[in-house]
Structures are given as structure tokens and as C-alpha cells.
Amino acid sequence: MKCSKIMVVMSAMALSVTAMGAGFGLYEASARGVGMGNGLVGSTGDATANYHNPANLTEVSDPTLTVGMALINPFCDVKVNGKTQPKMNAGWFPPPHVYAALPLGENFAFGFGTYCEYGLGTKYDNDWSLKADTTETTIQQFTFNPNIAYKITDDWSIAFGARMSYITFENYKSPDLLAEYGMPGLVYGRTHLKGDDFNCGYMLATSYKVTDKLSLGLVYRSRINHRLEGDFKMNGATPMGPVGGKGDANAKLILPASVTLGANYEFTESLRGGVSLTWTEWSTINHIDFNLPTISTPAGSKNPSYAQKLNWHDAWRLGFGFEYDFTKNFCGRIGYSYDWDPSGEAHGTTMLPPGDRHLVGFGAGYRFCDDWRIDLGYNFILMESETRMIEGARFQCDNSYSHIVSASITYTF
């Protein structure tokens, strides 16, 4: 007996109000993926194929809707020139995900997904030693992703999707007015920079069933060229007089292209496994130059410097996981991922603590009321300790951890 379809609408409304993203490269786009190290590229089997591999939408035999969210809590211990600072703790961030899959005859399928691919959240004490670099930074990004998939043969499918990206950026810092404006005495001001943009990219995907048990998948995501536009405010006081101003600001940000290769294998009727390898073109994040309004100072009008050098390099991410059916309706999952840090040693930023990441995941799925399934996933993230030179100071991150809790609910019509 089917449960009421009204529950689908109510679930979507309840979860959509918490839309927000965090972390810069986000991969927590489904609870099932969180538990399996995102090892769902070769074969997915549900509406989350919109994210993992849209070509797998041809596996879905009935209209399906999945709604969910993740809760992410990043924090770490910080030292500057060997001196312990207040802990970086950005709080909890809840990026959502919504997916729909609709079969169109024997060979075509349509899908739509809304999820967060990128984001960042860091928050330090307002009076910490590197407040001139940043005190609080937030990037929130949402992808709106329609996909069309086509089954060329019984074993081979392809897909094309549009990635409509909306991104916001907000940053607070307390620059040294002496260093930037030649004011007498070590005096710190306060700046607030905020902007947003909407632009589009695309994705291409394919999947191939090598045998009845082995499936391969390949996904390409294009660059997305954003031009953030917004507002800049600054205020400060010196012995010679106030420093401040506000006006329009803009900056160019290129979200990187990526390629993901994956494979899934059915060991037995109850045990399945998957692996994924992702290359991301993080070298597009070479530097971010902000065009800012003129600021008035006692010595005259000047343009504040807000160039962020990064010199990131391309990086890889490897993940794998297993799924085991304990009963007809209940399954357990386990996974692991290794995420290489793209940041360079020559130029660092406190907006994103550096370090390679280890992610250990667990999860479970339960089917009820014939047509409903709930999925839960958990990741513990351990980031390796790293040191960077920033503003002439030695910035060190230790004991960097994150907790990720994710939940999805799926309804098959």
C-alpha cells in the first residue's frame, strides 16, 4: 500500500528552507554517496544519478524523487608563529539536495538535480593574529541541473546536462592601515565585501555495462566563469582622522572543470562495491583580484588592495565504498575517500585551511511502505597538519576535523 504523496511535498518544503553550502569543493550531494565514498559513478540506480553520473538515469524504471540535506561542521586548532590562537570553528552548515528522475519510453530519461558543488566557511576570532588576512569568509553555491540521458544499446548510455550555478561570496577582515595606507601607528580598520553571480556550464556523461556484474562510468564537468558583483565597505580611525568608504565591487572567479572515472561491481546478490577517481582543474584558482571603490583617507583618496594570490594546482580525489543488504529492506554502507589539497606552499590564505583530507564514511538505507526509502550517512574528516606563510607570518593548522551527517528520503511513484 502506497504512503500519501503529500509527504513528498512536505519533505521538500521542510528541507529547502535551510539552503546553504560550505567547504570549497563539496561532494556531500547524497546520503548514500556520503556512506560509500561517492562510489556510485559506474552504477547508481536512483535519482541521485543526476549528481553521480546522469547517464545512469536510464537505470531508473519508475519516476523517483529524492530530497535531503547534509550537516557539515569544520573546525581546527590554529597557531601563528608558534602562538596558539582561538580555534577556527565556522559552525554547522546544511547544504541541501533534491533530485528527480523520469523515464521517457524505453531509451530516454529526464532528470533534474539541485545541490551544492562548491562552498566555504571559516570563522576566526575578531582579534586573532592574522585578522588582516580574514576573520570570516563564506562562499555559498547552488547548482540547478537538468539532464537528459539516452540508452544507445542495452549496455551503453550517454547523457548531457546544464549546470546553472548561483554563487555568493562574503568576507570580513581587519587590514593594517599602516601597511596599506601609510597611516602612522599600527591601526586596524574593518572591511566587509559581499557579491554574487549566476552563470552556466555543462556536463557530459557516459556509462557502460562491461558484464552483468561490472559497470564503468565517466563524467566531465565544464568550467563555470563567474563575475561576482556586489558591495564593499570599509571603516577605521587613525590619529590623523578617519578612513572609510563604500561602493560597488567585482571580481572574477573561475570554478574548475573536473573529470570523474568510476566503476561498480556486484560481488554477490547482497554485496556491491564502487570506486571513483576525480581530477579537478584547481589551477584555474590562480588568484582572485577584486576591483574596489575608492576609499577616503586623511592623506587623500586611494584604492584599497584586495588581491588574493593562491597559485593552486590541479588535484585528485579517490573514493571507494561497499553496500551490503542485511535484509530485503535494510542495507549497510562503508566508504573511504582521500582528497589531495590543491593549495600551494608559496601563497596561502586563512580563508581555507590547508591539508590533504582523509574521509571515513558509514551509512545505512531502509525501505518502508513499499515505495519509500530513507538513507543516512556519516563522514569523519581528518585533515593533515600543514603550515603556510601568510602576511609574513607562519600559519599552522593542527587537529583539523569535520563531522558530516547526511539524510535523504526517496519516493518511487
Residue, of 26 and 390, whose pLDDT is higher: 26
Contact 382, 399 (CB under 8 A): no
How many residues are given for the chain?
A: 413
Q: Look at residue 11 and tell me whether its pLDDT is greater than 60.
A: no
Residue 74 lies in a domain: yes
264-312 tens-digit pLDDT: 999 999 999 999 999 999 998 877 778 888 888 777 777 766 667 778 8
Residue 385 lies in a domain: yes
C-alpha cell at 36: 560509500
Residue 374 lies in a domain: yes
Dihedral (C-alpha) 28, 32, 35, 37: value to the nearest 10 degrees?
Answer: -60
Query: Which of 162, 284, 138 is CA-nearest to residue 225?
Result: 284
Which CATH number is 293's domain given? 2.40.160.60
Q: pLDDT at position 101, please? A: 98
Which residue segment(s) compose the domain that 364 sits in?
6-412
Residue 1 lies in a domain: no
Look at 79-88, 119-128, 171-180, 257-266 and tell me which has the smallest mean pLDDT: 171-180
Residue 116 lies in a domain: yes
Residue 206 lies in a domain: yes
Q: Look at residue 90 and tell me whether its pLDDT is greater than 80.
A: no
What DSSP string describes 164-179? EEEEEEEEEE--BHHH
Structural domains counted in the chain:
1
What 8-state DSSP symbol labels residue 18? T
224-240 tens-digit pLDDT: 999 999 999 988 877 77
Residue 370 lies in a domain: yes
